[in-house]
A and B are shown apart, each in its own frame.
Chain A
Amino acid sequence: MLLKRIAPQLIALAALVLLVTLVYPGFLDISFNDGRLVGPVVDVLKRGAPVALLAVGMTLVIATRGIDLSVGTTMAICGAVAAWAIASGWGLAPALLLALAAGGIAGLWNGLLVAVVGIQPFVATLILMTMGRGIAQLITEGRILTFNHPGFAFFGSGTILGLPVPAWLWLLTGAGVALLMRRSALGMLIEATGINRRASALAGVNATVLLIAVYVASGLCAALAGIVVTADIRGADANNSGLWLELDAILAVVIGGNSLLGGRFSILAALLGALIIQTIDTGILLAGFPSEYNLVIKAALVLVILVLQSPRIAAEWRIWRKSQRASREALAERSRT
């Protein structure tokens, strides 16, 4: 059941890995140096962390028939908050908590606009998307706020058991949220709200609180992503941190086969979608194409994947196969007589 759901994403990822390995044979090589795993695949797991983290929250938002355009900006805000706290000497734990709180507040703002005020999610989150970079710039006072704090930098470039910390972060977040959704009733209640909010509310589902909660979850995921990016470059860049990543996150969710119309969702599939996007990005770099080709190749690959996944194509394919089988049988029938 689960395998059937994520099969298209697994196949796409496998095909992509094969493709990249053909142009760059060393893609699957992994070596062990200084207690850490090194290799292109490990790099994909690490570099893919921001989009993967965003995709976890975005999946939940999209399942409620919403969208969160503000996550890239929220990353910048949270990164700026963390960097400011570190640079001001608050110490590691307060900096992390402040960054997460900032993400939570951003999500709460979005959630209130959507669930209580009743603004369409696209517009509601567009407000923070636009305004948020300004807030981040105010926090960093318009410059790139750098710091030197090995403890905080660990979240960007450290390793645990050989694997980069960012990879651990998204793996654990993804697994944790996915388990929470399926082991509790949250998954079903979120899906019901996304498919038919009115009917769900009449059945006693607290749709308003659920809606706010998914935007808060998205904000918290964005905070984690912001921490990773800021720790990685040891500085908060209010202008560029998380820029356009909301779109990659939405794309990851869609490649994961989750409908933008809400309802049924799979976090695992969205995470595979994030991996697919990162494999494309890394693969293009490794293949050594001139950098001006990157975006075009990426778009083409994404298009191919989405077209192959489209239900209409799948239906056509089934009909074609059926007719092939029928004509084969008719042929066999004729040759028998």
Chain B
Amino acid sequence: MLLSIRSLTKTFPGTLALDGVDFDLATGEVHALLGENGAGKSTLIKCLTGAYHRDGGTVALDGAEIAPRSTVEAQELGIGTVYQEVNLLPNLTVAQNLMFGREPRRFGLINTRAMRAEAREMLRQYGLELDVDRDLGNYSVAIQQIIAIARAVALSGKVLILDEPTASLDAREVEMVFDVVRGLRERGLGIVFVSHFLDQVFELTDRVTVLRNGRKIVTERTADLDRMSLIEHMLGRALEEEVEQQGAGKAAATHPDLLHFEGVGRHGVIEPFDLTIGQGEVVGLAGLLGSGRTESAELIFGVRPAQTGSARDEKGALDLKSPRAAIAAGFGFAPEDRKTDGIVADLSIRENIVLGLQAQRGWARPIPRAEQNRLAEDYIRRLDIRTSGREKPVGDLSGGNQQKVVLARWLAMNPRFLILDEPTRGIDVGAHAEILRLIHDLTGAGMSVLVISSEIEELVAVSDRVIVLRDRRHVAELRGERVAPDAIMRAIARDGTGDGETARCC
């Protein structure tokens, strides 16, 4: 075995993050590491890369026991890591990034020509022909990811850990990265692959290890597993066919109109669009990245002021010039990027949950502490937020739980219209199903929801109606039985000419 971990244990105050975990990695193997948020994947990886120091157990690389104390030491031992967010310097050139910290030198100065040549040679091994003098930031995330992999392999060269490398890539780019990973497998590296995308796990990996609550549940050859049993291992319970159940039987419910948006638009951001939201209705926004989905939501919520158009409800016109105005109109908006736009990381779970409600009441009318505690406890229980206490900083929670805290903030305000931008991005299977169920419950109670998602299956599962966007324009509206994956896909792909039937702008 290339890497052999035996009964690895790591504790944090109040939690046993890893409880006697065994893990083996062979040369020339891609080994998937799976588990829900908080299962212990990140902790295991950090113990390998020297970010954490293990409390117990052994880690052996090539038969020799190791205990790296820093990422640099781990790299020298042969363990390299590539994270979801590219950890490179976008304002340096490709060559500088690749050779950073080990630049070829001549007379004590950096030998730029040798550096360029070496960088080009490195990239050629990965089938990339790039201008290595251009700034890294000019290239797509996929290219940057491959450059990060190239750098990690050059620095370490035995074990490569890929921590959700594909989370922000589209399908074609994922394939590009996978080709690189397969090439490295043939060169005899051991690769640990962490991902939430089960399809990718089945496509790429040789073996799978599932963690749950800090324990190893199973290690199996990927080919011997089917999707259902894998999900069962991860969740520890038989997953009902949640999604499909919800998808069925919503055929012809009628929703009285709640909100009308007319001609809302902003130059260069989104073409003016009309949108009607019914009470208790879920409207899905589908489209490729950059098609104007998030922008539509931002205009509705006043994050960016609309230049044209108006909004009204049954009582009269609504003012949407700012988020505060939108909140006053009973809107809520859980944004896509919860780290920068959603959570206030250093504040506690309790404070994050009451923040919106408090802002609405005004500073002079503080919510009594007992009431705050009650609200926080209530939502921690209802949304099953995994934490050791309501006073923990939100930044310490895993991604899925952070998302639930942001949802709790809005639910505490009881909006009549909630916008959810990619509510399940980066969230594990269990939390995923919970959030879809939550949307279902909320609309059952009369709330209207606008869901933006890149996952078409998810949109189909929750939406009563789907609006398709293309090139900053609302191009189609699908309802009833037409809310189906292939119909949405066709609407996204259609080039907009000669299509009188469905491309009617909504």
Q: Are B359 and A206 in contact (CB under 8 A)?
A: yes
Measured in the bound complex, the distance between the Cα atoms of B213 and A236 in whole Å is 68
Asked if B364 contacts A192 (CB within 8 A), the reply is no
- CB of A202 within 8 A of CB of B364, answer no
B347 at the interface (CB under 8 A from A): yes
Which of these, B301, B324, B342, B355, contacts A192 with CB under 8 Å? B355
A182 to chain B, nearest CB (A): 9
| 330-352 of chain B: CB within 8 A of chain A | 333, 335, 340-347, 351
Q: Are B356 and A188 in contact (CB under 8 A)?
A: no
Select from chain A the residue with minimum beta-carbon distance to B395: A195
Closest to B326 in A: A204
- A285 CA to B49 CA in the complex, in Å? 53
Residue-wise, chain A 184-207 has the 8 Å CB interface mask toward B (1 for contact) of 111011011001101111111110
Q: Are A204 and B366 neighbours in the complex by a CB distance under 8 Å? A: no
Nearest-Cβ distance from residue A20 to partner chain B, whole angstroms = 36
Looking across the interface, which residue of chain A has its beta carbon closest to that of B364? Answer: A184
**Given contact pairs A183-B366, A185-B366, A189-B359, A195 touches B303 in the complex (Cβ within 8 A):** no
Does A47 sit within 8 A of B, measured CB to CB? Answer: no
Given contacts A188-B351, A204-B359, A205-B359, contact A199 B343 (CB under 8 A): yes
Please, how many angstroms separate the alpha-carbon atoms of A183 and B369 in the complex?
10
Asked whether A206 lies within 8 Å of B324 as measured between CB atoms, the reply is yes
Number of chain B interface residues as a range: 20 to 34
The answer to whether B423 has its CB under 8 Å from any CB of chain A is no
Bound together, the chains give a CA A204 to CA B355 distance in angstroms of 8
User: Which residue of A has the minimal Cβ distance to B298?
Assistant: A202
B381 within 8 A of A: no
Query: B358 contacts which of A183, A188, A198 (Cβ < 8 Å)?
Result: A188
Residues of B within 8 A of A202 (CB): 301, 303, 323, 333, 335, 341-342
* B363 on interface, CB distance cutoff 8 Å: yes
Do the beta carbons of B346 and A185 come within 8 Å of each other? no
A195 contacts B355, CB within 8 Å? Answer: no
B360 sits at the interface (CB 8 A): yes
- What's the count of A-B pairs with C-beta under 8 Å? 73
A121 is an interface residue with CB less than 8 A from chain B: no
Q: Is the CB of A204 within 8 A of B340?
A: no
Give the CA-CA distance A191 to B347 in the complex, in Å.
8
- Identity of the chain B residue whose Cβ is nearest the Cβ of A200 in the assembled complex: B344
Whole-angstrom distance between the Cβ of B356 and the nearest chain A Cβ: 4
List of B residues within 8 angstroms of A185 by Cβ: 358, 361-367
Given contacts A184-B366, A186-B363, A202-B335, contact A195 B345 (CB under 8 A): yes
Collect the chain B residues with CB atoms within 8 Å of residue A264's CB: 346
A193: nearest residue on chain B (CB-CB)? B344
* A263 lies within 8 A of chain B by Cβ: yes
Pairs across A and B, CB under 8 Å, 18 listed: A184-B363, A184-B364, A186-B363, A189-B355, A189-B358, A195-B344, A195-B345, A195-B347, A198-B340, A198-B341, A199-B342, A200-B355, A202-B342, A203-B355, A203-B409, A206-B324, A263-B346, A263-B347
Q: 10 closest Cβ contacts across the A-B interface?
A: A204-B359, A185-B366, A203-B356, A204-B327, A205-B359, A185-B363, A196-B344, A186-B363, A192-B344, A263-B346
Q: Please report A residues at the B interface, Cβ cutoff 8 Å.
A: 183-186, 188-189, 191-192, 195-196, 198-206, 263-264
Residues of B participating in the A interface, judged by any CB pair closer than 8 Å: 301, 303, 323-324, 327, 333, 335, 340-347, 351, 355-356, 358-367, 409
Besides A185-B358, A185-B365, 19 other A-B contacts (C-beta < 8 A): A185-B361, A188-B355, A192-B344, A192-B351, A192-B355, A195-B344, A196-B344, A200-B344, A202-B303, A202-B323, A203-B323, A203-B356, A203-B409, A204-B323, A204-B327, A204-B356, A204-B360, A206-B324, A264-B346
